[in-house]
Every structure is written in structure tokens, then in C-alpha cells.
Structure 1
Amino acid sequence: MIYSVFAPLIFALFVPWLSKHKDKIHTGIFVFFIPFIIFLYFIQFIGSDFSPIRETINWIPSMNINLDFYLDGLSLLFVLLISGIGALVVLYSIYYLDKSEKLGNFYVYLLMFMAAMLGVVLSDNVFVLYTFWELTSISSFLLIGYWNFKDRSRYGALKSMLITVFGGLSLLGGFVLLTVITGTTSIQGMIEQVDIILSSQYLPLALAFILLGAFTKSAQFPFHIWLPDAMEAPTPVSAYLHSATMVKAGIFLVARFSPIFAGFEGFFITVSLVGIITLCWGSYMAVRQTDLKGILAFSTISQLGMIMAMLGFGTEAAVFAAVFHILSHATFKGSLFMIAGIIDHETGTRDIRKLGGLFTLMPISATLAIFGTFSMAGVPLPFLNGFYSKELFFDATLSLEGVSWLSQAIPYLAVFGSIFTFVYSMYFFFGVFTGPKRFDRLPKKPHEAPFGMLISPIILVLGVILIGLFADKFNQPFLLHAAQAVNSGVEYHEVYFWHGFITPFIMSLIVIAVGAILYLTRTKWNKIYTILPGRLSFNRVYDAIVEKLDTYSKRLTNSYMTGSVRTYMLLILGTTIVITAVYMYITNGFIINLHDTAEVTGLEVSIVVIIIIASIATLFAKNNIAAILITGIVGYGVSMLFVIYRAPDLALTQLVVETVSIALFLLCFYHLPKLRKREESTGTKLINLFISIGFGLLIIMVGISAHSSNWFDSISSYFVENSYKLGGGDNIVNVILVDFRGLDTLFEIAVLGIAALAVFSLIRLKNKKGAK
């Protein structure tokens, strides 16, 4: 299981090399086998006898942060969607993306995203989950902005990252609160302490933070605005991120934490209300769109709202319906995104106003679209999986308890949202494949897509049909386990097509009847969009906020980024003085305890006096050489103190550093400007005096306090006892540097090496310029 998470990242290292041979063989052919193998590995866990599996790798044990992975029914459902649809998307992209594209970049980003999503759904440690969560935002930013030469691609990528990362930071706050409440970082461990969480005063705040992260990622109202702009990504990205994976990360998060928060009424109110509003608003706005992917974007928003609402209901029927629709939505929406990509690829446009009558020229694509759109609309046919989950949704809305006004309103809102779902589904299919032919308005002469591009949507449509025909076969061995991971009370109930003329079926008939009327009369009432939303737009709010932040941040930055080194030093040192002094005062950190200090002799006093005199003398030096030599006296004086206090290694290090520094100064002093007295105002001199004296006193305070404080047991005895035993050396300091702190020393050497390379590069660069 652990290897499955990191396999895409490891393979991504080889993609740039493989992409060099893309002229001979498409890079996607190699990439395809990664998600396909992962899918084959996890599909073996499907079965009625499945039980959860846990794997752990120690990462940061001291902070209780380990790579804990947990596979249960819920994570298995998402893993199969991520890997299965991921394989189909890669197969589709082989025919969609030309070899002239930057295929190496595309597949590296795609594999990075795949690994991040697998990490999200399999992680049991909240901080590991958060790490993968943010990686999904970064990788999706790269995928959405893949065509970075387009302004809209860059805009959509930035918009998605700003909104989802904002939610991610909120999510981190929620995780920190839950960790503080429970004392564990394990999600399953938190679930075992539900009573403690529900009785905590931090519960509302933790819930708000976590839901904010979920709502932003799953494009819930009013954070839905990033999803339509993300449609600027290549269609394989849209089919993957925005139908089966990234947008469902928030859904997964709410489902995973439902066992914790379901007993809190605020959870039911917030999640149900936001979900049902998102359902209604997304379906309503989808009918307004003219871009095919725009229609599908708002339809995705609507469908996500529907799933979120069902998770908010929290009942056994609602949870099972939500799980069922997660699977159904991935199949029909993934196929429809691919069909939209095929139409764009073969006609040169996604503008539905220019399309029409394509059934005769693209019969296979049209046939596939029939199953996808009619399933999305919830048409009551036994071979359409969308109808089953839609009817389960209606049934769940009829048995709600809790806040009376909300419970009574939800069934009507569900019907309202579903009516517009039917309208935009019919609008998508009939607007593209029937009606008058407008081939002369198309950039390209339309024709059917190559068979290779049709394979993936064909497989997804077969999924739509098979799940519809054999719905109960997917129930007990697969979906039931996923639902029980969210609500342990879910029991097995047979799923079948005909239940008689019950209320949910009547609600479906109402949706179809009213939806058909609205579709046929769409030109009569679509002017309503000039009233609602009219000029109201959350996009304008977002743009205004980003513009203001950009303006004020530039103004603030320009106020201190003046190009003056003195200004920078004043800000850095002044801030350090204030923050450190205030913190020490608040925490009573300044302590003087001199009971175990060594005796001070006249020799040490003499050396310190010499150091002080030399320090002051540098202020009055008339030329560069004098200033350099006097500074050297300070350094050598410190070296003598190290010798007196029996620290020969430090003394030798100080002597070497001081000697090299003086030598370098003397070699380049003629390049330095001549020392001259600067005319400064009284205010400037006072500021300089305050900073210099203040920083000096601060260092003295910190040094004395560090020596006098004894907050922790000294580690020196451990080094004394184990330096020879474990490190094999008599010199304790050397053993510490080489063995106990070997990595620290290694990184210090690496930093010095990088600095040396930088200096060498600058010298070479200067020599080349001089040669020219």
C-alpha cells in the first residue's frame, strides 16, 4: 500500500528522460502502466470479507508524526477511482495531446497529482494528510496552468491555488485543534475519542476550520468560482481533476471526519445547507453557459453539492446514497468531459452556439453522450446508474430529522436543483448533436474521433451501464464497506430499479416533466439571468480582493524595500530586539544565576578590556587597513579567551576564520570605498545608538539567561557517557559533530559547497564578460 502512494512520484523522476524519445513512442504509453498496476493491486481487496488494513513507517516519532496509511472501504473506493480513471485519462491523453507538446512536464505534474491524491485518501495521520493535501493544490496549479502561454490558463491556475491553499491553511488549523483536544494525530484514534471532541469548547472552531478546507477544495458555494476557470486546462486534466479526484478530496474529507462530527447539530446544518445551496446554484448557472466545459464545470459543482448535502444529512440512507453517487458521478462525468474534449479536438470549438447536428458525423461520440447526459439527468432507465443514486438522494431527503425548517425545505430544494440538472443535461446533448447544422461556422471540418481517443469514454460509459444493470452486485462487496466507514450503522439493503410509484419516483417524474418544459422554453425565460445573478458575481469579489491585496502589498513592500542596506539592517535588528525582549519579559525568561561560573582572573579582564578598546577604536579608524587590523584584534582576543577556557578546537577555528578574513580583506581592500565621515542627522545618530546598544544588551541578556536557565536536563552527561561507546572517539566535540550531529554537519558542508560554487560561478561569469 505504501509503495502504491510513492510509485507515481518515483516513476515521475524517469519521465523527463522518457519524454526525450516521444517522437518514437508517446510518453503516455509508459505512464499508463503506473495507475493501471495500482488499480489491479487494489481491486483484489473488493469483497464481502474485506477488513481494514494499516501500514506504518516512522517519520518524526518525537512529534508523533508517522507515515500511517489506512485502507478501509471509503479509501478503497477513492483509490480505485484515482487509479482506474487515472489510467483511462492517461490513455485518452495519448491521443489528445500531440507529441509536440511538453509531454514530460504534463506527465510529471499528473503523476505528482496522482500520488498526492492517493496520499490524501490513504493517510491516517492528519499532518501527513495535510502534506499530501497541499501537494494536490500545487500539482493541480501546474496542471491547470499547463498551457501557460494563455492568459486565462495562468489566471485559472492562480485562482484555484489561492482559494484551495487558503482552505488548506484553515484545514491545518482544524487538525492542530483536534490534535490538542485528543492528544493523537491518528484519524482513527480521534474517532475513538468522539465523546471528548464533542464536549470540547474548541469543537465549533475545529469544525469550521475543517469544513472551510473541504468546501474550498470541493468548490462549494461561494468558493465554487475557481472551478469554471480551471476548465482552461487540457481536457484530460479536467476529466481527471474535476470529475473524479481533486474536487472530491473535500467530499472525502467530510466523509472521513463524519464519524467525529455527525453528533454535532452544527455539522448537519452547515454541511446540508451549503451542499443544497451549491446543488441549486450550480445547476441553475450551468444552463447559462455556452462553453461545453463551462456547462460541465457548473454541473460538477452541482453534483458535488448534492453529495455534500447527503453527507450532511448523515442518515444511513443518505450516506449510502452519497457513496453510490460518488461512483456514479465519476463514470458519467468523466465520459462527458472526454466527449467535450473530442468535440473540441475534432471541430475546433467548444462554443455550443456554433455546434449542432453532429450526430450524423460523430455517431459514436453522440451515442456515448446519450448515456452520460441521461444518466447525469437521472432519467429513470434501468441501465443508467445516475437514476439509482438520484432516487436514493430523493429518498434520503424525505426522512430527515433535526432543524425543522431545514428538514422541510430540503426536499423542495432537491427537486429544484434536479430540475435544472435535467435542463442542462438536455441542453448539452441536444444542443451539440441535434438541431440545425452549422458546419460552416466551425474552425475545422467535423468528423468522428480516432478509435484510440474513444476507448476511455467507452469504458466509462460501460461502467455507467454495468452499474445500472447490476447495481446490487456493486453494493455488498464494495459500496457497503465504503458507506460503513462513514456511518457504521449502514446495513445491507438490496438496490433495484423498480420500487413502485413511491414518493422518490414521483419526484423524479416531476423533475423530468418540469425540466422538459423548461428546456423546450429556454429561450423564453433565459433573460432571468440578467436579473439573477445579473451584475452580482463572486468572481468580481475575488478579483477585487486580489487587486486590493496586490496594490497594498506593493505599497507596503515599496515602503521598506528602498535599496538601502542600512534600512534593512535597522528593520531586521530592531524587530529582533523588540520581539525577543518582549517575549523574554512575558515569559520571565531573563534569569541571572552565577553560582557555578568560573573564577575571573586578571588575565581574562585584561583581554576583555583590549577587545572593548579595539571594538571602540574601529569607529574612529581613518583608513581601511587600520579598521581591518583593529577588527582582527577583536577576533584574536576572542580566540585567546577560548584557549583560557580550555576550548582548543574553538580557538583554532576562530584563529583560522579570523586569519582568512583579514587576509581576504587585505587582498581586496583597495576595491572598498575610502572611509569618510558621513554627515548624519541627530535622529539618525540616535537610531543608530539605540539599535547598537539595544542589540548588544539583548545578546548579553540572552547569553546570561541561557547560562542561568535550566529548563531541561543537560544532555552533556549523555555525550560524555556515550561518545566513546557509540562514537568510538575520545574527543567529545568531534564525535558530536561527526556522529551525533552528522546530518547537521553534512548540511553545513553542503551549504558551504553551494556558496563556493556560487562564488566560482560569479568569478567565471566576470571573466567571460571581461574577455568579451
Structure 2
Amino acid sequence: MLLAVLLPFIIAIFIPFLSKWKEKFHTGIVATIVPLLIFIYFGSFLGRGFEPVMRTYNWIPSLDMNMVFHLDGLSLLFVLLISGIGTLVALYSVYYLHTTEKLGHFYVYFLIFMGSMLGVVLSDNIYVLYSFWEFTSLSSFLLIGYWNHKHASRYGALKSMLITVFGGLSLLGSLVFMHMITGTSSIQQMISDKEAILNNEFFPLILALLLLGAFTKSAQFPFHIWLPDAMEAPTPVSAYLHSATMVKAGLFLVARFSPMMSASEWYFIIVSSFGIITLCWGSYMAVRQTDLKGILAFSTISQLGMIMAMLGFGTKIAIFAAMFHILNHATFKGSLFMVAGIVDHETGTRDIRKLGGLMNYLPMTATLAMIGIFSMAGFPLPFLNGFYSKEMFFKATLDLSAQEGIAAFLTNAIPYLAVFGSIFTFVYSMYFFFGTFRGKSNIDELPKKPHEAPVGMLISPAVLILLVVIIGLFPSLINETFIEHAASAVYGGDAAKEIYFWHGFNLPLIMSLTVIAFGTILALTISRWRTVYNFVPGILSMNKVYDFTVDKSVVYSSKVTKGYMNGSLALYMKLILVAIVGVSFTFFFLTGGFALDLSQLATVTTIELIVAVTMTVAAFGTIFTHNRITAILILGVVGYGLSMLFIIYRAPDLALTQLIVETVTVALFLLVFYHLPDLGKRGEARSTKIMNWIISAGFGLLITTVAISAHSSKWFDVISSYFVDNSYKLGGGDNIVNVILVDMRGLDTLFEIAVLGLAAMAIYSLIKIKNKKEE
């Protein structure tokens, strides 16, 4: 199992070398074999008697971070989608991407993303899951921006990464909270101890952060804005990331934690509300688009909202329908993205206003599109899998029940909103198909004269459409093998349901017929009512909010940066010291870190007092002198006074070290500061001097407080006894300090010497450069 997850990463290492022979051997062929092998391996787990499998591989045991893979019905469903759709997309890309493209880059990103998604859906350790989660954001950023010479691609890639990484950081916060509460990093153990999380005072925050991560990844309103711009990626990327894998990572996250979170009423309120709003808004906005992939992008947003809403319902039928529709959506939406790519590839445009009548020129493509479109629309035909899950969705909306409050309002409103969203789903489905393949043809206005795509490019969408028909005709084949297992893993108990076409003339069927009736009317009169988009949303747009936020962030961050990065070393030092003092004293206050214990202090002798007073007077003397050389010499008194204290405390080695360091430091200061102006010529303002006094006094007080608290606090056993007992045994030396530096902390000393050596080389280089310039 570990090899199956790591295989895409391993093969990605060799892709750049293989791409050198892309003219003779298309790199995509290797990328097709990898997911195929993974699909075959995990396909062996299919069956009625499937039981969850757990595999543990050591990674960082001391931090409780191990590669723990949990394969249950839910993860098996997603693994088969990731590897199965991945195989078809890789095969499709062989014919879509020409060998003049940077194939090495594309397939490295593609395989990294595939491996990351496998890691997300299989990981039981929360930190491993998060690591793979962020890898999906990074690799998708690279895939979306693959055509980086285009501004739109760079813009879409950056937008997707900013939004999804923001959600990823929120997810990390939620996972850390749950780890702190339960004391485990295992998701399954957290679910077993769910009462501790549900009853914790921070549960609302945990739920909000978790859902924020899921909503941003799965393009839920209002975070959906990144998905349409991500359509600038090559069509294989859109077919893979935005129909079957990445956008469903958020759905997987909600499903995985559903057995824990669904007990909360607020989980139902938040997830169901955002899901149903996303369904309605996505389907409504899809009709406004003129780009084929833009239509499919908002269609995906809508479908993701429907699945998210069903996960929020939390009922047995809703969970089953959600798992079923995840599979169905991957089949018909993946094929439709490939169809859009074929149309673009063969006509040179995706603008639906320029298309029409292509059925005569692309008959096979049109046939595949028709089956996929009517399945997505939920048309009541027994060979369309989309109708089955759409009927279950309607049934799930009718089975909701709540007694009072917001939940009660939602249960009454959701069935109507479901019908509203489904009506526009039907409209954009008809708009996509008839606007592209039927009606008046504009062949002369197209950039390329259309003709049927190569057979190789038709294989992948044909396989997906074949699955649409097979699932529709024989739903029990996939139900008993893994849909039931997936639903049970999410529901937390037996969630088995039968799938059949005819449910009788009931309310869900009436809802479907209503959708078809109103959808047909709106589709036929689309030119008359599309002006409604001038009013709703009109000029309002979440994209404008995003652009305003990013633009202003850049402007204000630039102003802030220029405010403190002005080349003044004095300002830099002030900012550093103020930050240290402020943060340290804040934590002292919040944690009660200050301690004062005078019980173990030794008696102060006269000579110690004299040395201490001398050092204090010298330190104050540096403040009032107006000559740098005088200040350096007076400061040297402080260093030599410290050496005297080491001698008094019987530490001659430290005293000798301090004397050498102080002597060299004073000499260096004298050499350097000789060339700087006198202190009295700076002309500092009175306010600057006062600020310097405050910062200096604050930092001095901090150091004094830390020193007193460190001496007075005995939170741990004294480590000096260990060195006294073991220095001779382990290091063979009588001088404890030398043994510590050379043996016990030998690597520290080695790196310190290395740093000093590098610094010396840098100084020598600067001197040589200066001498050459003078010559």
C-alpha cells in the first residue's frame, strides 16, 4: 500500500529523463501506466465482504507522525476514482498535448498531484493527511499555471493557491485542536473519542476551521471563485482536478469526520446551508457563461454544493446518495470536460456563441456529450446514472425533520431550493448541448474547420460514458461492491440501500417532472430572460472582493515594508528590541513566568560589590559620552569587570575566554568606529532620545527579569550533575567544560567554527574586492 501511494512520486523523478525521448515515445504513456497499476491493485479489494484495512509505516515515531493508511469503503471509493479517472485522463492527454509542449513538467506535476490525493484519502494520521493536503494545493497550482506564458493561467493558479492554502492553514488549526483534546493523531481514534471533542469548549472553533478548509477546497460559496479561473489549465487538468479529484477533497474531509461532527446541530445547519446555496448559485451562474469550460466549472460548483448539502443532512439516504453521486458526477463530468477539450481542439474555440451545429461534423463526440449531459440533468431514463442519485437527493430533502429554530426553517426551505437549483441544472445542461451541437452552424467563422477527433482522444470519454450507461442499467454491480461500504463508513453504521429506477409516482418524481417542465421552458426562452443577470448579480461579484483584497494587501504591505525597511540599522535594532520586550513580557504576564527566590543566594563580598559598582558606573558612562572611542573604552571596563567576577567565582577558563574576547572586541570596535562620526554630531530629536531611553530601560529590565526568574525557577532537574558524573566516563577529560564543548556538544562546536570560518572568508573577500577597486 505504501508503494502504491509513493509510486507516482517515484516515477515523477524519472519523467524529466524520459521526456527527452518524447518525439519517439510520448511521456504520457508512462503516466498512464502508473495509475492503471494503482487501480488494479486497489481494485482487488472490491467485494461484498470488504473489511477495512490498516497499514502502519514508521516515519517520525517520536512525534507520533507515522504513515498510517486506513483503507475503508470511503477511501476505496476515492482511490478508485483517483486512479481510474487518472488513467483515462493520462491517456486522453497523450492525444491532447503535442510533443512540442513541456511534457516533462506536465507529467511531473500530474503524478505529484495524483500521489498527494492518494495520500489525502488514505492517511489516518492527521499530520500526514495535512502534508498531502498542502501538496495537492501546490501541485494543482503548478498544473493550473502550466501555460505560464498566459496571464490568465498565472492569475487562476495564484487565486486557487491563495484560497486553498488559506483553507489548509485553517484545517491545520482544527487538527491541532483535536490532537490536543484527544491526545492522539489518529482520525479513527479521534472518532472513537468524539464525545471529548463535541463537549469541549473549543468545539465551535474546531468545526469552523475544519469546514473552512473543506469549503475552500471544494469551491463552496463564497470560496467558489477560484474554480472558474482554474479552467485556464489544459483540459486534462480540468477533467482530472475539477471533476473527480481535487475539488472532491473537501467532500472527502467532511465525509471522513462526519461520524464525529454530525452529532452537532450546527454541523447540519452550516454544511447544509452552504451546500444548498452553492447548488443554487452555481447552477444559476452557469447559464450566464459563454465558455464551454466556464459552464462546466459552475456546473461543478453546483454539483459539489449538492453533495455537500447531502453530507450535511446526515441521514442514511442522504449519505448513500452523496456517495453514489460522487461516483456518478465523476463519470459524466469527466467525460464532458473531455468533450469540451475535443471541441476546442477541433474548432479552435470554446466560445459557445461561435459554435453550433457541430453534430454533423463531430457525431461521435456529440453522442457522448448527449448521454453525459442528460445524465447530469437528471433526465428520467433507466440508462442514465445521474437520475438515480438525483431522485435520492430529492427524497433526502423531504426526509429532513427539525423541531425549532434555524434547523426547522432549513428543513422547510431546502426542498424548494433543491428544485430551484435543479431547474437551472437542467437549463445549463440543455444550453451546453444544444448551443454546441445543434442549431445553426457557423463553420466559416471558426478558427479551424471541425472534423471528428482522433479515435485515441475519444477512448477516455467513451469509457466514462459507458460507465454512465452500465451504472444506470446495472446499479447493483457497483452498489454491493463498494457504494454500500463507502456510505456505511461515513454514516457510522449500516447504510446499505437498494438502487432501482421506478419508485412509483411519488413526490420526488413530481419534483423531477417539475424540474424538467420549468427547465424546458427556461431553456427555450433563454434569450428573453438572460437580462436578469444584469440585476442579479449585476456589478456585484466575489471576484471583485478577491481582487480588491489582494491588490490592497500588496499596496499596504508595500507601504508597511518601506516604512521599516529604510536602510537605518538603528531603526532595525529598535524594532527587534521592542518586539522582544513586548512579546517576552506579555508571555511573562500570561503564564506567570516571573519568580523571585532569595533563599539560596550567597553572601555578597566587598570585592564583588566594588566590581559590580564599577561595571554599573561604566555602563552608565557609555550613555553620556559624546565620543565613540571613549564609549568603546568605557564599555571595555564592563567586559573586563565580568572577567574579574569569573576569577572571583573560580572559573579561570571562562575568565581567560572573556579577556580574549573583550580585548579582540575592543580592538575591532576601535578600528571600525574610528571612521564614524562623533556621537555628539548626530543631532537626534528629543523624542528619539526619550524613545531610546525607554527601549534601553525596557530591554535591560527584561534581561534582569529573565535572569532572576531563571535562577529562582526550578522546574527541571539540574543538568550540571549529569555532566559532573559523566564527563570523565564519556569524554575521558578532567575539564568538564572542555568535554562538553568537544565531545558532548561537538557538532555545535563544529558548526560554530564553520560559521566563523565562513565569516572570515567573507571578510577577506570584501577586503580583496576593495583593494582591487582602489588599484
CA distance in 1, matches of 2:241, 2:386: 20
Alignment-derived partner of residue 163 in structure 1:
163
Alignment-derived partner of residue 77 in structure 2:
77
What is the DSSP-based 3-state SS (H/G/I as helix, E as strand, rest coil) of the residue aligned with 1:493?
coil
- Mean Cα displacement is larger for which, 193-202 or 432-441? 193-202
Alignment-derived partner of residue 153 in structure 2:
153
Letter in 2 for 1:246: M
Alignment-derived partner of residue 539 in structure 2:
535
CA distance in 2, matches of 1:687, 1:167: 41
| Offset from partner CA, 1:386-429 (integer Å, 9 cap, x none) | 12211222222222222444323322322222222122112112
Letter in 1 for 2:513: L
CA apart distance, 1:344: 1.4
Alignment-derived partner of residue 198 in structure 1:
198
CA distance in 1, matches of 2:687, 2:120: 56
Alignment-derived partner of residue 488 in structure 2:
484
| Offset from partner CA, 1:85-126 (integer Å, 9 cap, x none) | 223222222332233333333333323322332222122233
Q: What's the TM-score, normalizing by structure 2?
A: 0.89
Alignment-derived partner of residue 370 in structure 2:
370
What is the DSSP-based 3-state SS (H/G/I as helix, E as strand, rest coil) of the residue aligned with 2:399?
coil
CA apart distance, 1:614: 6.8
CA apart distance, 1:166: 2.7
CA distance in 1, matches of 2:3, 2:730: 33
Report whether the alignment pairs 1:704 with 2:708: yes
CA apart distance, 1:310: 1.0
Alignment-derived partner of residue 251 in structure 1:
251
CA apart distance, 1:623: 8.5
CA distance in 2, matches of 1:752, 1:44: 59
- Mean Cα displacement is larger for which, 673-682 or 73-82? 673-682
CA contact (8 A) 2:216 2:223 kept: yes
CA apart distance, 1:611: 6.0
Report whether the alignment pairs 1:458 with 2:462: yes
Change (3 A) 1:683 1:106: same
What is the DSSP-based 3-state SS (H/G/I as helix, E as strand, rest coil) of the residue aligned with 2:69?
strand
CA distance in 1, matches of 2:699, 2:37: 61
Alignment-derived partner of residue 472 in structure 2:
468
Alignment-derived partner of residue 556 in structure 1:
560
Change (3 A) 1:585 1:224: closer
Report whether the alignment pairs 1:518 with 2:513: no
Alignment-derived partner of residue 695 in structure 1:
699
Letter in 2 for 1:308: M
Letter in 2 for 1:98: H
Report whether the alignment pairs 1:573 with 2:574: no
CA contact (8 A) 1:239 1:333 kept: yes
Letter in 2 for 1:460: L
CA contact (8 A) 1:614 1:631 kept: yes
CA apart distance, 1:640: 7.0
Report whether the alignment pairs 1:210 with 2:210: yes
CA contact (8 A) 2:628 2:679 kept: no
Report whether the alignment pairs 1:54 with 2:78: no
CA distance in 1, matches of 2:68, 2:538: 49
CA distance in 1, matches of 2:530, 2:347: 27
What is the DSSP-based 3-state SS (H/G/I as helix, E as strand, rest coil) of the residue aligned with 1:128?
helix
CA apart distance, 1:210: 1.8
| Offset from partner CA, 1:232-279 (integer Å, 9 cap, x none) | 122222111111111111111111111112222222222222212211
Change (3 A) 1:668 1:690: closer
Change (3 A) 1:443 1:743: farther
Change (3 A) 1:186 1:417: same
Report whether the alignment pairs 1:582 with 2:586: yes
- Mean Cα displacement is larger for which, 146-155 or 220-229? 146-155
Letter in 1 for 2:342: I
CA distance in 2, matches of 1:109, 1:44: 27
- Mean Cα displacement is larger for which, 740-749 or 484-493? 740-749
Map residues 227-626 of structure 1 onto 2, 5 A cutoff: 227-402=227-402, 403-596=407-600
Alignment-derived partner of residue 143 in structure 1:
143
Change (3 A) 1:625 1:679: closer
What is the DSSP-based 3-state SS (H/G/I as helix, E as strand, rest coil) of the residue aligned with 2:359?
coil
| Offset from partner CA, 1:697-755 (integer Å, 9 cap, x none) | 32122122112211233445556667788889887767767887788778778877887
CA contact (8 A) 2:320 2:496 kept: no
| Offset from partner CA, 1:624-671 (integer Å, 9 cap, x none) | 88877877776676567667767788678767877876787788788x
CA distance in 1, matches of 2:729, 2:134: 43
| Offset from partner CA, 1:315-367 (integer Å, 9 cap, x none) | 11111110000011111111111111122122211101111222232222222
What is the DSSP-based 3-state SS (H/G/I as helix, E as strand, rest coil) of the residue aligned with 1:70?
strand
Alignment-derived partner of residue 684 in structure 1:
688
Change (3 A) 1:722 1:126: farther
Count of residues paired in the alignment: 770
Alignment-derived partner of residue 123 in structure 2:
123
CA apart distance, 1:219: 1.1
CA apart distance, 1:155: 2.1
CA distance in 2, matches of 1:91, 1:637: 78
CA distance in 2, matches of 1:445, 1:763: 69
CA apart distance, 1:226: 1.6
Map residues 101-120 of structure 1 onto 2, 5 A cutoff: 101-120=101-120
Letter in 1 for 2:111: L
What is the DSSP-based 3-state SS (H/G/I as helix, E as strand, rest coil) of the residue aligned with 1:68?
strand
Change (3 A) 1:587 1:277: closer
CA contact (8 A) 1:320 1:490 kept: no
CA apart distance, 1:8: 2.9
Q: Which runs of 5+ in 2 are unaligned?
A: none
What is the DSSP-based 3-state SS (H/G/I as helix, E as strand, rest coil) of the residue aligned with 2:485?
helix
Change (3 A) 1:95 1:739: farther
Change (3 A) 1:503 1:620: closer
- Mean Cα displacement is larger for which, 10-19 or 525-534? 10-19
Letter in 2 for 1:688: N
What is the DSSP-based 3-state SS (H/G/I as helix, E as strand, rest coil) of the residue aligned with 2:179?
helix
Change (3 A) 1:681 1:125: same
Q: What's the TM-score, normalizing by structure 1?
A: 0.89
| Offset from partner CA, 1:523-577 (integer Å, 9 cap, x none) | 2222222222222222223223333333333333333333322112111112211
Letter in 2 for 1:583: F
Change (3 A) 1:65 1:659: farther
Change (3 A) 1:171 1:638: same
CA contact (8 A) 1:316 1:489 kept: no
Change (3 A) 1:472 1:150: same
CA distance in 2, matches of 1:684, 1:702: 27
Change (3 A) 1:190 1:617: same
CA contact (8 A) 2:56 2:67 kept: yes
Change (3 A) 1:295 1:655: farther
CA apart distance, 1:609: 6.7
CA apart distance, 1:191: 1.6
